[in-house]
């Protein structure tokens, strides 16, 4: 097979979120593309936050596999130490149970021989460092919207909102849940709205968070406290729309009291230390991830309930899987081959659907008020808590240490080593 003639870029990525930027750096870090051969198109690029700014309201719980991937693309070690917090324990309990007693499930990193259970990372710092790593890797950043896509047998072209045209072997849509790339490719989605908002803020609590991620399953939706390095916690409180609207209308003191009650007083009195932000929640999955010369990844391909903090972790595994598959292409000239991109699609679609289904099932089970479901989940949590082997498997799965993870993420070693 003769190689198609060289194009403007090997790869054009639409979207400069954490995933678009990480994918671009990964292509260079894995030596799949040379500096200058990958471009990112985005309507806006993130700007740096001042060093003394408060933690971003968006925080991410990241797994070990995500940490390894971000290390490999030069992001992790550039994150300011005060913007990353390793948590050591996790406690999940049902509304009818107690965090330290019946109806709860606890994990401790010491039980699984790991230094921590993952990291809480400041969203703005992560976003900025991902973009910086892409710049350092020689990725070309183009500020513009996406206007049109035309794929031919030998390449794919995108026309930008400012009239420029870019040709490449592969187009990657990493432009989030409202992906224009997906729409222009004519890829349909399925799913449903949860009719819930996730309320997000940072709070002070009277009791220490003890380096623990806490999650209580309430009937209107789960309430999570993610520990921050300054002793505060970042909350993600998912509630049905009318309840979320009621909570948002409360003044700070009344909201703190409602939060204290919703957490069963487990962390003592809670006090808001930031404004509240709200995110509408839905389950959405693209019916296809791959078209000739084009793929989707991250929220453009799948949006899941945030109850287990998995969306970005799944998206980073999409990046890793795509890099793994492109590594088998035999060079950038062959990146657009549909058979290769279908391999990525089969791999990631099954993993992501499994995760989305599990999270959807958990959300339904825990929001169900009938006594059988209530009894089942309390008994289920207590039972799993008494099974060290099952707990270890669950914790390792959450850390991304087992499951269908690309080989190059399985061990903590330096890159590149294809």
Ligand X SMILES: Cc1cc2nc3c(=O)[nH]c(=O)nc-3n(C[C@H](O)[C@H](O)[C@H](O)COP(=O)(O)OP(=O)(O)OC[C@H]3O[C@@H](n4cnc5c(N)ncnc54)[C@H](O)[C@@H]3O)c2cc1C
Q: Which residues bind ligand X (CB under 6 A)?
A: 14-20, 41-44, 60-61, 145-146, 174-176, 180, 198, 200, 236, 279, 298-300, 306, 309-313, 315
CB of 35 to ligand X, least distance (A): 22
The residues, any chain, with a CB within 8 Å of residue 219's CB and separated by 6 or more, are 95, 366, 367, 368, 369
CA distances from 301 to 109, 211, 293 (A): 32, 33, 16
Shorter beta-carbon distance to ligand X: residue 239 or 267: 239
The three-class DSSP label of residue 398 is helix
Shorter beta-carbon distance to ligand X: residue 20 or 103: 20
Shorter beta-carbon distance to ligand X: residue 205 or 215: 215
Shorter beta-carbon distance to ligand X: residue 299 or 363: 299
- How many other CB atoms sit within 10 Å of the CB of residue 371? 9
The residues, any chain, with a CB within 8 Å of residue 101's CB and separated by 6 or more, are none
Q: Count Cβ atoms within 10 A of the Cβ of residue 143 and give its class: 0-12 exposed, 13-18 middle, 19 or more buried.
A: middle
Shorter beta-carbon distance to ligand X: residue 119 or 337: 119
CB of 58 to ligand X, least distance (A): 7
Q: Provide the sign of the torsion angle of the four alpha carbons 9, 10, 16, 21, taken in this order.
A: negative
Shorter beta-carbon distance to ligand X: residue 14 or 27: 14
Tokens 């499930």: give the residue. 105
The DSSP symbol for 330 reads: S
- How many other CB atoms sit within 10 Å of the CB of residue 102? 14
Shorter beta-carbon distance to ligand X: residue 359 or 378: 359
CB of 267 to ligand X, least distance (A): 18
CB of 386 to ligand X, least distance (A): 28
Shorter beta-carbon distance to ligand X: residue 42 or 381: 42
Instruction: Give the closest residue to 180 by CA, choosing from 70, 413, 381, 20.
Output: 20
**DSSP per-residue codes, 224-278:** EEEE-TTS-EEEEEEEEHHHHHHHHHS-HHHHHHHHHHHTTTTT-SEEE-S--EE
CB of 396 to ligand X, least distance (A): 17
Q: Count Cβ atoms within 10 A of the Cβ of residue 112 and give its class: 0-12 exposed, 13-18 middle, 19 or more buried.
A: middle
CB of 195 to ligand X, least distance (A): 15
CB of 150 to ligand X, least distance (A): 16
CB of 2 to ligand X, least distance (A): 34
The DSSP symbol for 120 reads: E
Instruction: Give the closest residue to 117 by CA, choosing from 380, 378, 384, 308.
Output: 308
Residue 144, both tokens:
């513009």
- Interatomic CA distance for residues 95 and 370, integer angstroms: 13
Shorter beta-carbon distance to ligand X: residue 131 or 329: 131
CB of 370 to ligand X, least distance (A): 27
């Amino acid at each position: 097979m003769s190689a198609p003639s060289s194009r403007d870029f090997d790869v054009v990525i639409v979207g400069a979120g954490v995933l678009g930027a990480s994918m671009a750096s990964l292509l260079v870090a894995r030596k799949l593309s040379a500096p200058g051969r990958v471009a990112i198109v985005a309507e806006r690029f993130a700007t740096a936050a001042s060093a003394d700014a408060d933690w971003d309201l968006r925080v991410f719980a990241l797994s070990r596999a995500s940490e390894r991937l971000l290390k490999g693309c030069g992001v992790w070690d550039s994150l300011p130490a005060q913007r990353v917090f390793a948590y050591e324990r996790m406690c999940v309990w049902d509304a009818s149970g107690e965090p330290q007693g019946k109806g709860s499930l606890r994990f401790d990193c010491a039980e699984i021989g790991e230094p921590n259970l993952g990291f809480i990372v400041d969203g703005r710092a992560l976003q900025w460092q991902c973009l910086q790593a892409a710049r350092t890797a020689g990725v070309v950043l183009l500020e513009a919207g996406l206007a049109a896509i035309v794929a031919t047998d030998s390449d794919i072209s995108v026309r930008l909102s400012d009239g420029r045209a870019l040709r490449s072997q592969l187009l990657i849509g990493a432009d989030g849940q409202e992906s224009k790339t997906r729409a222009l490719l004519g890829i349909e989605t399925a799913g449903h709205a949860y009719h819930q908002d996730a309320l997000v803020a940072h709070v002070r609590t009277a009791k220490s968070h003890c380096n623990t991620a806490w999650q209580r399953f309430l009937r209107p939706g789960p309430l999570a406290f993610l520990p921050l390095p300054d002793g505060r916690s970042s909350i993600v409180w998912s509630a049905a729309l009318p309840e979320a609207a009621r909570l948002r209308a409360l003044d700070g003191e009344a909201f703190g009291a409602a939060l204290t009650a919703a957490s069963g007083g487990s962390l003592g009195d809670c006090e808001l230390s930031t404004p509240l932000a709200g995110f509408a929640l839905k389950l959405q999955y693209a019916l296809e991830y791959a078209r000739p010369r084009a793929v989707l990844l991250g929220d453009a391909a799948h949006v899941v309930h945030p109850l287990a903090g998995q969306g970005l972790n799944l998206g980073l595994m999409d990046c890793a899987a795509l890099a793994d598959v492109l590594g088998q292409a035999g060079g950038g000239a062959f990146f657009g081959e549909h058979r290769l991109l279908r391999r990525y699609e089969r791999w990631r679609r099954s993993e992501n659907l499994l995760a989305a289904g599990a999270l959807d099932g958990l959300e339904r089970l825990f929001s169900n008020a009938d006594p059988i479901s209530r009894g089942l989940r309390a008994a289920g949590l207590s039972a799993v808590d008494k099974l060290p082997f099952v707990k270890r498997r669950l914790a390792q799965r959450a850390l991304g240490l087992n499951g269908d993870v690309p080989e190059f993420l399985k061990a903590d070693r330096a890159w590149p080593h294809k």
